[in-house]
Structure 1
Amino acid sequence: MPLQISPLRKPFYVQWLWLGLILITLGIVIVFNLYVEHERAAIREHNRLLVQARVIAENTEYQLKSANLALENVRDNLAHWRDGAELQRVMRHLKAASIIPGIRTMNIVDKEGTITASTRAELIGMNIGSRDYFQAVKRHPSADMLYVSPPFETIHGFYVINIIRMIADEQGEFNGMVSATLDPEYFKTLMMSVLYASNMWVALAHSDGLVFLIMPERENMQGMSLRHPDSFFTQHQSSGEREKIFTGIVYATKEHGMAALRTIYPTDLKMDKSLLITVNRDFDSIFEPWRQNVLIQGILFGIIVLTSTIGLFFYQKRQRKFEKEERKIRALVNQFSLALDRIPTYIFMKDQQRRYIYGNRSTLELFKCSAEELTGSSDARFFPPETVARLQESDTRVLIHGEDTAEKVICKSQDGGPRIYWEIKTPIYENNMPTNICGLCGISMDITELELLKEKLEQQARQDYLTGLFNRRFFMEQGHAELIRAQRYHHPLSLLMLDIDNFKKINDKHGHQSGDTVLKRLADVMRKVLRTVDIIGRMGGEEFAILMPETDLKRAAEVAERLREEVACSEVTLETGMALYFKVSIGVASIKDKDTDLNALLNQADKALYQAKESGRNRVCIA
């Protein structure tokens, strides 16, 4: 008699059908999500590379504009040459113009190709008439054109690019040129500054196809020609677009990469040739995180398929053997445990003797032990004595008194810094009897970053961001409290209003950054001269207020005069190296009766300050 395979009952068949549909749907969702993530990674890298290319291009365009202005300035001053003294003055002007970042050398060349003036004395008298860049200007003369030479190797073995302005005679014909040599070291630093990964490189090339620089440096790359039908350089120039992204094999390096190319051609400059920047990153490294994600999701999907299939099989088997309830509970427990392991919170359980009997994955990772090592361990194994005492106290409240606790726990981390946890504990009852406590369950969350952020925000709410002094709002709060205290106990209290003299001129002449430096220097002087009990606040702009408890008007005036003298002697060194001195005017006021409020006191001191300003500044006036 042949074997007969009894068909699955309809409910079991439907379960397998649903499982298959869910797994197929899940697989489609995962594949679609991976596809979207791949596209996002590509777009994200496109944007990053383009941004880096724009940074270099915009900086280079700025340098070209600056160098062009310097060349035009030198060329326009050539008409004033009359004698040796004038020549020396123009030579000094030439050297001053070459100070612009990115310029290595500046030369003046006559129509025969002889260098008549140079920032490098050893070049004066040298004839460069046979050089290609000289001949290019001579063959196609234009007084309005900025000529950009192809890269060429110097006698010192490194490549440079010259930018040139033609000198015309009275008839507008070629009469020489003024040239500036771009400094490779400046552009190397600029190019290295945009590299955000170790597998990147940046190249700067001439529109003729010759490589000027590549960073990090590679052998035999400088001077290499990129004019090849398969090169990104040729494809970019053929596209006519200003910037473009390419993916594939890089012609110059034979590497598989993603490259952003951008043409450098300032719109307000007339240049005979342009430059081109390339920012490239290794293609495989761009999608390495994505491939790892594919592997992880693939493994998880396989685990899900295997787990769900096996789970359904055993579920049906339990149905056949009338063990549905027991196995269902076990499955729920397993799923709950897996869910707890995925929660990024420390979840644990202890018995009546305060020994650990369970910890989720986060807890095990925190304690750096296995589940077997955790079981039976006490807090003394993982925490310092002071923290153990605190934990045992809260455990006692839960295990003995049946309380639910929620509190902060502070302990030292392995690096010695404090870590702050928010810990919640609740009792576990045996047989659902509220009087029979068999253990506790705890949840602990690391809130260190949240507490630090809270502290930082509180500090920002009361401090002036520039000087570190109290801001106006917090000064007024502290001032009101101090005024009430002084009036209640009949103690003296004085207020200084201080303003920097001619601060607007400092900003206009030296720039706002120098003005900020002056404000910070003044804050430092006030901290040095005044007491720690004095309340210093920045009221706005260059105006400051100082509240001086336990200080009468005479003593406050003396302190104000000492502060004024200390400020007058203070020196601020600007970025240019120049020393800057500044002065202040100060108004002094003191409470005279118990009805005086803070605003009135501020008005009195402000009037005295105004009097000091009107009296010639750099002085102290008393209200």
Structure 2
Amino acid sequence: MLVRKSQFRTEWALLLGCLLTLGSVIAIALVDERQGLEIRERERLATQARVINDNLGRQLEATSRALTSIRDDVPFWLRQKDGMAEASRQLRAFTDAMPGVRSMLILDAQGTVLAASRPVLMGQNFSQRDYFQQVLRQPDVDTLYVAPPFTTSLGIWAINLVRMIPGPKGEFAGLVSATLDPDEFKIVLDSVRYAPDMWTAMAHGDGLQFVMVPEHAGQPGKNVARPGTFFSRHMAEGQVSDVMTGTVYATGEYRMMAQHTVQPAALHMNKPLVVAVARDMEAIFAEWRRDVWRQGGLFLLLLLIAVPGLHLLQRRRRAAAQAEQAAALALRAKNAELEAVNAQLTAQSELLQSLAFVDGLTGVANRRRFDEMLEVEWRRCRRESQPLSLLMIDIDYFKAFNDCYGHQAGDVCLRAVATCLREAPGRAPDLLARYGGEEFVYLLPETDGAGAQAKAASLCRAVTALAIPHERSACGPCVTVSIGLAVAWPGTGFSAQDLLAAADAALYSAKSAGRNRIAGPSAVALSEGGSV
């Protein structure tokens, strides 16, 4: 009896020790998972902010070059009889060529418009505008002046980029101005959003909010340069980029925000632009919290089963130790056998499922899987009134590749391209499938034309970056792809096959136009009151 009591105490100690160890492992794993998730999200937001910075930097540089070119031509135009008319034509040509610029002006030293890309602005006087006064107070021929956002005479909330026109002695003789189009900036900001809770914004270096995507009421013109705000802390630290967590002053939300100062050194900007990319903290850790509840619930269930179970087991063992021991051994053996059988059946089921829906050569989804998911997503997007985009992808001159390098090399090429397309950044609902031969399809639920166009462009670049040699391609020295793009708002009277046919037709257009390009989007259906 003494031996049995000692054995029982040992069992309790082991059980509690195991539960404590398991609980500690679960807790440590959850803490590590949360920290890793936070680190990854910080890096991802910072990367998206850098992407915006790179894009805006290129636009600012292009606009600056245009302003400098115009400024250099002003003396010539002033000497000509109809020089300002020619200047206006040149300004219109520049604005037509640069989607990010809404209008361009040449002002004399008194602020009167001498030439304009929009005739309605001719002769107006803007000497009281802040962008004119900035240059007048601090004239510098090398400075690119970035004016705070303001409402233009045409009723547009915009930012002006300005270059000074020097006189014969270097004095202030006027300026050339480019009004930036906020809609183009919204497209850039929207292109980096990868989660529904995510928003992006851009502010002037003085703190006035310029644009936010998606739009929030009251944000344009809001001054975020308040003490203690993310913006003020970012500017005070003097760092180009940073990531902060807390309550956002502009919206009152608890978020993680990456900020990046846009101020290319070569432009000598008097004020920077600051871009922000933010996600809701609740949304970032939503799945992690569900995992905590799941694992916590399983641990609690284990605790509720183990403790009473051991107590009951010990009571029964006191009455019939040998019989219960034999029954326990038999039960454990049976359970082990059933678990082994179940594991084998599960593995076989998973293998069969994989074989049924996966292309054997490339490892991506096969035609059968694509056909099934196309119908599923078509019905879902129709219910939820969401767009559905489809990319039809074809490897350029693949038959010539096979003829040149052989079919084994062709298989290697197919697998490499499929892997590249599959590993491109995307969302969980997106589906890549091999459609047949050298053709692939990419199904993009809840994606409009702009998003599909951006996705197609990134895929083209990714495949080209593989640099797979193709000496018989008319498109270049390496393997490229052509993409046909179609977008639909599923509605009554149209089917998923219409979308597929539109993507195929777009692909045909891309190949007819010379390959290594994107054709589309092609609208195949309209939802009630909406458009593609």
Report the TM-score range of the alignment, normalised by the length of the smaller protein: 0.5 to 0.7
C-alpha separation in 1, matches of 2:294 and 2:225: 43
Alignment map for 1:60-79 (pairs within 5 Å): 60-79=56-75
C-alpha separation in 2, matches of 1:54 and 1:21: 49
C-alpha separation in 1, matches of 2:157 and 2:397: 47
Check 1:206–1:476 CA distance in 2 against 1; reply closer, same or farther (3 A cut).
closer
C-alpha separation in 2, matches of 1:191 and 1:163: 19
Correspondence for 2:139: 141
C-alpha separation in 1, matches of 2:168 and 2:135: 17
C-alpha separation in 1, matches of 2:471 and 2:169: 65
Q: CA deviation at 1:315?
A: 3.6
Correspondence for 1:593: none
SS of the aligned residue for 2:358 comes to helix
1:17 aligns with 2:18: no
Check 1:40–1:572 CA distance in 2 against 1; reply closer, same or farther (3 A cut).
closer
Q: CA deviation at 1:447?
A: 4.5
Query: Which of 210, 228, 231 lines up with 1:230 in the alignment?
Result: 228
C-alpha separation in 2, matches of 1:575 and 1:95: 29
SS of the aligned residue for 1:252 comes to coil
Correspondence for 2:327: 326
Correspondence for 1:299: 297
Alignment map for 1:175-574 (pairs within 5 Å): 175-322=173-320, 323-334=324-335, 343=343, 346-347=345-346, 445-448=351-354, 452-456=358-362, 465-472=395-402, 540-542=472-474
Alignment map for 1:605-620 (pairs within 5 Å): none
Q: CA deviation at 1:97?
A: 1.8
Q: CA deviation at 1:94?
A: 1.9
C-alpha separation in 2, matches of 1:571 and 1:288: 47
Deviates more, 1:112-121 or 1:444-453: 444-453
Correspondence for 2:91: 94
After TM superposition, the score normalised by the length of structure 2 is 0.67
Equivalent residues of 1:57, 1:263 under 8 A apart: yes
Check 1:308–1:225 CA distance in 2 against 1; reply closer, same or farther (3 A cut).
same
Check 1:252–1:576 CA distance in 2 against 1; reply closer, same or farther (3 A cut).
closer
Q: Which has the larger radius of gyration?
A: 1
Q: CA deviation at 1:90?
A: 3.0
Correspondence for 1:84: 81
Deviations along 1:143-190, one digit per CA (max 9) or x if unpaired, are: 000000001123454410000000000100000000000000101111
Check 1:185–1:6 CA distance in 2 against 1; reply closer, same or farther (3 A cut).
same
Equivalent residues of 1:318, 1:327 under 8 A apart: no
Equivalent residues of 1:258, 1:283 under 8 A apart: yes
Correspondence for 2:418: none
* Structure with the larger strand share: 1
After TM superposition, the score normalised by the length of structure 1 is 0.58
C-alpha separation in 2, matches of 1:273 and 1:296: 50
Deviations along 1:289-339, one digit per CA (max 9) or x if unpaired, are: 000000001011112223332443344334323321113322454566578
C-alpha separation in 1, matches of 2:63 and 2:147: 14
Match for 1:27: what amino acid? G
C-alpha separation in 2, matches of 1:543 and 1:293: 49
Deviations along 1:511-540, one digit per CA (max 9) or x if unpaired, are: xx9xx9xxxxxxxxxxxxxxxxxxxxx763
Deviations along 1:188-228, one digit per CA (max 9) or x if unpaired, are: 11111111111121111011110011111111111011121
Check 1:13–1:541 CA distance in 2 against 1; reply closer, same or farther (3 A cut).
same
Equivalent residues of 1:346, 1:445 under 8 A apart: no
Mark the runs of 5 or more structure 1 residues left unpaired by the alignment. 348-421, 424-442, 459-463, 479-512, 517-537, 545-569, 578-623
Deviations along 1:94-136, one digit per CA (max 9) or x if unpaired, are: 2222221211101000000001100000001000011111011
Deviations along 1:11-46, one digit per CA (max 9) or x if unpaired, are: 111111111111111111111000000101111111
Equivalent residues of 1:315, 1:324 under 8 A apart: no
Correspondence for 1:356: none
* Structure with the larger helix share: 2
Identity score, percent: 36
1:43 aligns with 2:39: yes
Mark the runs of 5 or more structure 2 residues left unpaired by the alignment. 365-393, 409-456, 461-469, 477-511, 520-532
C-alpha separation in 2, matches of 1:53 and 1:260: 6
Match for 1:454: what amino acid? G
1:57 aligns with 2:59: no
C-alpha separation in 1, matches of 2:75 and 2:350: 81
Match for 1:68: what amino acid? S
Correspondence for 2:124: 126
SS of the aligned residue for 2:114 comes to strand
> Larger RCO: Structure 1 or Structure 2 (Cα < 8 Å, ≥ 6 residues apart)?
2
Deviations along 1:561-597, one digit per CA (max 9) or x if unpaired, are: xxxxxxxxx87599899xxxxxxxxxxxxxxxxxxxx
SS of the aligned residue for 2:56 comes to helix
Match for 2:265: what amino acid? T
Name the count of aligned residue pairs.
394
Equivalent residues of 2:208, 2:223 under 8 A apart: yes
Deviates more, 1:198-207 or 1:82-91: 82-91
